Amino acid sequence: MLISAPRPTGTDPISGSTKIDGRAPRSFRWVPLLSGAAVLIAVCALAFDGFGYSTTGAQVGIAGLDHELSGVLHEQLLAQGFDYEPSVACDPTDASHFTCAVTIETPEGKTIAETVVVTCGAPSPTTGHRCSTDSGYALQ
């Protein structure tokens, strides 16, 4: 003989869910919150799509290029044992090329000056860099 437990009050015979005090089951209380969170994430994803990445049509920021080239050259000098801070000033020669004047002051008071040519194009599919120096250093 099978003895079945009595059904609690408020049980829906079709879905089997239990309502407590006339409220929806706990699992359904989270549906509006999760739906709202999913919509918020989708909106943010669309709003920030491509954020931080340059496209082919976007102009290269000269101040950013100066800063990045200065950092790359400083790292190159550090690797050679020289802790010199290079000063960089880039000027566009056309839409995708820049001529950058690099000046390095040594602790002995000497000034080293050179010109670096930077070429920019579409971002590389493998690295994401879109600019490089004439000696092969990747920028941006």
Confidence label for 20 from pLDDT (cuts 50, 70 and 90): low
- Report pLDDT for 97: 93
CA 92, CA 131: separation in Å to the nearest integer?
13
Task: Please answer whether residues 92 and 98 qualify as being in contact, where contact means their C-beta atoms are separated by less than 8 angstroms.
Answer: yes
CA 98, CA 115: separation in Å to the nearest integer?
10
- Provide the residue type at 10 as one letter: G
The pLDDT tens digits for 128-137 are 888 989 888 8
pTM: 0.56
DSSP per-residue string spanning 55-89: -TTSPPPHHHHHHHHHHHHHHHHHHTT----EEEE
The pLDDT tens digits for 28-54 are 555 665 666 666 666 555 555 444 444
Q: Is 96 exposed, middle or buried (0-12, 13-18, 19+ CB in 10 A)?
A: middle
CA 137, CA 140: separation in Å to the nearest integer?
10
- Average pLDDT for 85-92: 94
- Where is 45: in which H helix or E strand? helix 31-47
Q: Which pair of structure tokens corresponds to residue 132?
A: 């490089």
Q: Where are the domains of the chain?
A: 10-51, 62-139
